Amino acid sequence: MTKQYLENHKQYFLEKGLTVINSIFSDDEIEKITKSIAKADASKENFRKSADVFAIRQFLKEIPEIKDLIFNDTIKTIVRKLFGDKYFAVKSIYFDKPETSNWYVAYHQDLTISVDKKMEIAGFGPWTAKQNQFAVQPPLPFLENICTIRIHLDDTDEYNGALKVIPGSHTKGIYRPETMNWKTEIEKFCDVQKGGIMIMKPLTLHGSNRTTDGRRRRVIHIEFSDMELPEELQWSERMN
């Protein structure tokens, strides 16, 4: 992975709000990751299971031994070169769309961050709380600063729920899907191979269609920032 190769991905990422890099994890590494997930205690409150999705919130905290498998040298290099030297993980989720899932997601931006408590701070709100986990919409600069890596444990395309995105929409601030001009916006499906990653900005409008070909889709979603929160507020999953 040459310096120029990463620089090209960085430029595309900054301009379009996303990029896909395949062949980051070997089949052997993916197998170790999936075995580690399978051994976890799924009865905990951060594990959510339904007919349409299996999800683990605070994933890196719930399965701490998985950190060494995920943060290999390539991922560390990508974080440094594409995001910056001071970026750290602030949020992690695992989700598995089973083969029979008919779950789809409408176009949206990711507008909240996970924090350790609820406080009255100017510019932060609205708030939500689930199972003693607090999420809040922060001021725009925090959202513009976050970078997300999505690690794909299965081949993913438009037929089994790959993300569809509106490239460049991350530059428009808070951008409501209902105000989009579909004559000028172009939709793109983000195919990712097993062991590849998709990197995106949370303000990039994204959604996904229902699975139509009976293949599962498992993804590890990790958000990174290099900004400290104000006053006594902390990122709930901060991890260097």
DSSP 3-state assignment of 60? Answer: helix
Indicate the pTM of the whole model: 0.94
Question: For residue 177, what pLDDT is reported?
Answer: 85
Higher pLDDT, 106 or 240: 106
Question: For residue 44, what pLDDT is reported?
Answer: 84
The reply to whether 217 falls in a domain is yes
Question: With 90 as the cut, is the pLDDT of residue 73 above it?
Answer: yes
Question: For residue 52, what pLDDT is reported?
Answer: 63
Question: For residue 182, what pLDDT is reported?
Answer: 82
Distance CA 84, CA 73 (A): 15
The reply to whether 132 falls in a domain is no
Residue 87 belongs to domain spanning: 3-103+146-225
The reply to whether 110 falls in a domain is no
Q: Name the residue among 16, 19, 7 with its Cα closest to residue 199.
A: 19
Residue 99: band (very low, low, confident or very high) from pLDDT cuts 50, 70, 90: low
Question: For residue 199, what pLDDT is reported?
Answer: 98
CATH number for the domain that contains residue 188:
2.60.120.620
Determine which of 13-22, 65-74, 102-111, 190-199 has the lowest per-residue pLDDT on average. 102-111
**Which tokens hold the place of 230?**
């104000």
The reply to whether 162 falls in a domain is yes
Indicate if the alpha-carbon torsion angle 149, 98, 109, 184 is positive or negative.
Answer: positive
Give, in order, the Cα–Cα distances in Å from 189 to each of 60, 104, 184, 203, 205: 28, 14, 17, 17, 12
Phi, psi angles (nearest 5°) of residue 19: -160, 155
Question: For residue 131, what pLDDT is reported?
Answer: 73
Question: With 70 as the cut, is the pLDDT of residue 184 above it?
Answer: yes
- Percentage of the chain surpassing pLDDT 90? 74
Question: For residue 84, what pLDDT is reported?
Answer: 97
Give, in order, the Cα–Cα distances in Å from 13 to each of 6, 72, 75, 111, 167: 10, 21, 16, 19, 9
Distance CA 238, CA 113 (A): 11
The reply to whether 234 falls in a domain is no
Domain count within the chain? 1
The reply to whether 74 falls in a domain is yes
Question: With 80 as the cut, is the pLDDT of residue 127 above it?
Answer: yes
**Which tokens hold the place of 141?**
């600069």
Bond from prior residue into 139 cis (ω within 30 degrees of 0)? no
The reply to whether 126 falls in a domain is no
87-96 pLDDT, tens digit each: 999 999 999 8
Determine which of 110-114, 164-168, 173-177 has the lowest per-residue pLDDT on average. 173-177
- 212 contact partners, CB below 8 Å, separation of at least 6: 159, 160
Mean pLDDT of the chain: 92
Question: For residue 101, what pLDDT is reported?
Answer: 66
